[in-house]
Each structure stands twice: as C-alpha cells, then as structure tokens.
Chain A
Amino acid sequence: MATILETAAAVGCFQTLLAAVEAAGLGAALASDGPFTVFAPVDAAFAALPPGCVQTLVDHPPQLARILQYHVLSGAHLRQELVTQPEWPSLEGAPVPVRCTDPFEIKNAMVIQADVVCDNGVVHIINRVILPG
C-alpha cells in the first residue's frame, strides 16, 4: 500500500489538491503515521470555485491550511462508520456533517468513491470543495 499523498498522486485527478497541500505546508503531516480520514476534492471541484478564490488561499498558506484541515478527520473512518453519526469533528475545528448516507454525501459534496484505504488512513473522493460554516 501507499500513503494518502502517494495514493492521491498516483490517481492523477488531484493535482490542485496536492499543490495546495504543498503550498500550505501540510505535506509532512499527511505523510506521517496518522491515521487520517481525508475527503479529497478532485481537480474539477477546485476549478468550479469562483475565480481568484484558490489563488488568494495559495498566497496565504495559514488560511489555505485551515480550509484543507476542514477536509481531514483524525483517525481512519470507513464509510460504514462515518454514516453512524450525523457529524464528525474536523482538524479545522468545525464539524463536518454527513448529510446523506445513500447516496453518500459529506456536507454539500457527493462522495464519488469511498473507502480508498491507504497506509496512514482512508481517502473518500468528493466532487466539491467543502467549506466550514
């Protein structure tokens, strides 16, 4: 198996996410033992954000890190575990709600593929960048 970041790099549709993780200085943390649960937005999800949004965040790593941390939970949680409670505390601090179990939706994002198991956690691929609030 591979780590979360290695797995994401191999898939090929997480270029923006990986660049953002690098810019925010979270690479080392996500390469650590964890374990983590990562809701990983695909490139199209970042591209769908209004113009300028991503660039402003990339220019300000602490602010970018905060948004990315909202996509990460502590511990490795598979879909069958996630659906057992309505919300989960993110590393950002704000809760991430599980809005729908079938189809599986995290906040306002659809889970395209759940349960990608990695060495240091689990990745759920989502179609939208989720934001706290």
Chain B
Amino acid sequence: MTTATAAVGTTTPLIPPSTHRYAEVIHRLEAGGSMLPDTPENLKQIIGIYKAYAVPMDFYWRDLLYIAEQVFLNPLPAFKYLISQEYLDRPCSYSGDQSKLRIWRGGEKAHPELVEFMERGETRPMPRLLHHLWHDRVNMEFAEACMQAMFWHQGMGGRFNDYLDSEAYRANADRAIKAYFRGNPLMLGLYKLFPEMLLEQVKQLSYYANLGLFWEVMAPVFFEMSDLYDEGQLTSVPEAMDFLVNGIFAVAGRPIYHQVFIRGECFEIIPKSEGLTWLYEAALPYVEAVFYRTSPFRGTKSYNAQAGQVPGNQADFHYGILYADVFPVGSAGIPPTLLMQDMLHFLPPYLQELYRTHKRGEEDQLIQLGISFQRSMYNVTSAVIQALRIALLYPLDDCDPQHLLANRHFFEAQMDRFLRPEARLPQIQSQAYR
C-alpha cells in the first residue's frame, strides 16, 4: 500500500493524521477501505443481505417501469402491483445472454426465487389477486416510498428536476396526457380545468421510471456479488465495496428516460437524447434522498414539527437508513419494515443461521436483518463516496500533499454528515450492534 496513511511506521506520512471525530474511519477510507470495518462477519452480513434485497428489488424495478410505462395515469390504479407477464419477462439490461454489459451471470427474466414467491407467498399457491388482497406479496409500497422521497426532495444535483420544469417536458407530457385520455371528456375536462394536477402526476411517474432504471442496475450487481461470495471470490469488505465502485462507473453513462405506451404507441416524455445519466440523475439523487434524508414516517415514534423536531431545511432531513433506529421503526406499514419483511423471504441459509444464534433468534430476525441492512448500506455509501473521490478528486496513492489534503477534506466533509447523534456510524464499528 502506498497511501500516506498506510505508510505510517515505514516512511514519513505526507500529511498529518486527521483530528476528526471519525479519524479512524477517515484513515480507513484513505487506505482504500469502507466505513464498515473489514471483518468476515460484516462481509457475510452485507453479502447475504444484498442477495435478500436483490430478489424483491427485481420485482420493484420491473413494477416501477410497468407503472411508469403502462399503468401511467390510470385514475383507479387498483391493479398496478399486478405486473404483466411482459414486464416479468422483460430482459434485464445487465443480465442474461442478450445483455451488452453483463453484470450478473444469471438469466434476464424475473429471478426464479421471486417467481416462486409470487406463486406461493407465505401462505400457499393461489391466484395472484387473492395473494394481493391478503397482502401476501412483495411490498411494492416500499419502492413507492423511495420514489416519493426522491420526488419530494427533488433538486439534489443533476438535471432531472430541471428537465421536469422545462417547456419541452411540459409539451411531451401534454401530448401523452391528451393521448391517454382521448375519448374521455371527463378527464380531459378536468385536465383543462386543472392542468398542473395531471402534469404533477406525470412528473411523479417520471420518478417511477427513474428509480426503476436505477434499480435495474443494482439488482444484478447484488446477485453477482452474492454468487462471487458463494464461490469464495469475494473475500473482504473492501473487495465488496470495489465491486460496487466498478459497477457505478460501468453504468454511469446509462440513459435515464421516461417513455409511455398508449394504445401501442410510444410517447417519449423524457427522451434518451436529453443526455440524462444514471449516475447524475438517478444514483446520486437516490442516495441523497433515500439513504440520508427520506422523511419522518409515522411509527411508534412521533415527531412534532412545531417543536422543531423536524428540520426546517429539507437538506437537513436525516431519516434514511444511515440514521435509522431500526427497533422502533419495526411497525407494520412503515417503509423500512416493509423492506425488512420482503428481505426476510429471501435470506440465504447462512444468514438465517447467524440470526438464530444471536439475540432472540428467530423472534427478532427483522431487527437483526435491519441492522445487517444498515451495515450493507454504509458499505454502498462508502462505494459512492469512493466513486465520487475517484471522479472528482485524486488517487489514494497520489504523491502531492495538496491532493491528499483535498481528498482528506472531502472525506471529512462526508463524515461531518454523521456527526449528528442519530447517525449509526459509531454503532456499526462494533460487531455487538445487532
């Protein structure tokens, strides 16, 4: 290793040690590591949870695109979670033989474990509508909560929101709205009376497309990491982080677009030619909105905005998984709990075994896997931080002290976001946090 920090003890470091409260984490990042300590158990927890996350995510992205492209402005979208076979079979752009950039070695259609769960559920095989009504299904509401977090926070860098406010977007949306409600005087009359209302709905649907295209990448990335781990080819937390960093760069230039199909005709609401990219318009806003900010959802914990318990500035929101107290969150209908329940269905055997042997065993699996998820998302966030450092700053083995100081200031600024007491960064440094 040739970084300034790693060289301590052998040669004089080029820059002095950090005095930040999270100096140990910063020095680890400067040595090419992750915010999550490199231990075999951390690796097991994060890879197992990536796998458990990727299966429902395979449903989320397909259904998000189905809603954005097919359900569209249906005023009574009662069946929006009953995804069509066409979208379950829709070839993933990053897996299967047809893929130009194959990330996962598996097939292009919906993951076999997902298909099996959709048929059987927690109960028994029955028609999909009955599974739906019994709520024995993938919790698509979680995906929508993530989309709404992105939609609500908006303006987190990138051009996506600017384009949504442009005249070109308004004209494209107008064409699609009029085509969708052709022959429906009631809805067309409503559109004439309140043009902004349906436009706002279309903007939300564009965020459905945005998140769907984002997760279409992440599901195969996580599946491949799980397969590599099972083969013994992914052996450390930094290796897992580096795989994510490489994945981020490989697909950074993927177009983000929104198209809708109305009576067989394709309407481009956000054309690919706008130059919107996966990294700037989807990935970075997603991390900001979902990992850091989200919103103070109702649960066993209440917030009083009038008493200043909710920040006045949206940028200061801190209700994402990096800050979550997983235990009180664990109530029915709360977005993170919906995801935890989804992941519970697809845990690999080694994680089930791990949870059985700690805390209250199967009784509190949801909490234990929620904390594993928190660890895994600190690792994903580390990958994003390192990717930004690669893109915007300097190599870790740079010999110029000024460059190393610029990297240091960047890492310290990132860690400043975890100085608030709700941050779980200190907890994940210890294996005892379960």
With a cutoff of 8 Å between Cβ atoms, the chain A residues found around residue B273 in the complex are 62
Instruction: Kindly state whether residue B255 has any CB partner on chain A within 8 Å.
Output: yes
Instruction: Kindly state whether residue B190 has any CB partner on chain A within 8 Å.
Output: no
CA distance A100 to B391 in the complex (A): 18
Q: Which of A27-35, A63-71, A74-82 contacts B (4 or more CB under 8 A)?
A: A63-71
CB-defined interface of B236-259 with A at 8 Å, one 1/0 digit per residue?
A: 000000000110011111110000
A108 and B394 in contact, given A59-B100, A62-B272 (Cβ under 8 angstroms) = yes
Residue of B nearest to A56 (CB): B253
Indicate if the CB atoms of B402 and A52 lie closer than 8 Å. no
Residue of A nearest to B246 (CB): A50
Indicate if the CB atoms of A53 and B253 lie closer than 8 Å. yes
CA distance A126 to B393 in the complex (A): 14
Instruction: Kindly state whether residue B24 has any CB partner on chain A within 8 Å.
Output: no
CA distance A93 to B253 in the complex (A): 17
A52 and B251 in contact, given A62-B272, A62-B275, A133-B280 (Cβ under 8 angstroms) = yes
Q: Which of A62, A67, A93 contacts B255 (CB 8 A)?
A: A62
Instruction: Kindly state whether residue A51 has any CB partner on chain B within 8 Å.
Output: yes
Count the A residues whose beta carbon is within 8 Å of the partner chain — how many? 24
Instruction: Kindly state whether residue A57 has any CB partner on chain B within 8 Å.
Output: yes
With a cutoff of 8 Å between Cβ atoms, the chain A residues found around residue B245 in the complex are 50
With a cutoff of 8 Å between Cβ atoms, the chain B residues found around residue A56 in the complex are 101, 250-254
Instruction: Kindly state whether residue A55 has any CB partner on chain B within 8 Å.
Output: yes
Q: Which of A49, A65, A100 contacts B402 (CB 8 A)?
A: A100
Q: Which of B159, B277, B392 contacts A107 (CB 8 A)?
A: B392
CB-defined interface of A94-133 with B at 8 Å, one 1/0 digit per residue?
A: 0000011000000110000000000000000000000111
Residue of A nearest to B393 (CB): A108
Indicate if the CB atoms of A60 and B280 lie closer than 8 Å. no
With a cutoff of 8 Å between Cβ atoms, the chain B residues found around residue A52 in the complex are 101, 246, 249-251
Instruction: Kindly state whether residue B274 has any CB partner on chain A within 8 Å.
Output: yes
Count the B residues whose beta carbon is within 8 Å of the partner chain — how many? 30
Instruction: Kindly state whether residue B7 has any CB partner on chain A within 8 Å.
Output: no
With a cutoff of 8 Å between Cβ atoms, the chain A residues found around residue B100 in the complex are 59
Indicate if the CB atoms of A63 and B253 lie closer than 8 Å. yes
Nearest CB of B to A7, in Å: 27
Instruction: Kindly state whether residue B23 has any CB partner on chain A within 8 Å.
Output: no
With a cutoff of 8 Å between Cβ atoms, the chain B residues found around residue A57 in the complex are 252-253
A133 and B272 in contact, given A50-B249, A62-B255, A63-B277 (Cβ under 8 angstroms) = no
With a cutoff of 8 Å between Cβ atoms, the chain B residues found around residue A64 in the complex are 253
Instruction: Kindly state whether residue B157 has any CB partner on chain A within 8 Å.
Output: yes
Nearest CB of B to A49, in Å: 7
Indicate if the CB atoms of A65 and B101 lie closer than 8 Å. no
With a cutoff of 8 Å between Cβ atoms, the chain A residues found around residue B388 in the complex are 133
A66 and B275 in contact, given A56-B101, A59-B100 (Cβ under 8 angstroms) = yes
Nearest CB of B to A133, in Å: 6
Q: Which of B157, B274, B276, B392 contacts A108 (CB 8 A)?
A: B392
CA distance A53 to B387 in the complex (A): 12
CA distance A52 to B272 in the complex (A): 19
B window 380-401: CB within 8 A of A: 388, 390-394
Nearest CB of A to B254, in Å: 6
Q: Which of B277, B392, B393 contacts A66 (CB 8 A)?
A: B277
Nearest CB of A to B241, in Å: 13
The 6 closest A-B pairs by CB, nearest first: A52-B250, A50-B249, A57-B253, A62-B275, A66-B275, A56-B253
Instruction: Name 18 interchain pairs, CB-CB below 8 A, sorted by A.
Output: A49-B249, A50-B249, A52-B101, A52-B246, A52-B251, A53-B250, A56-B250, A60-B255, A62-B272, A62-B274, A63-B255, A66-B275, A93-B159, A99-B406, A108-B392, A131-B391, A131-B392, A132-B280
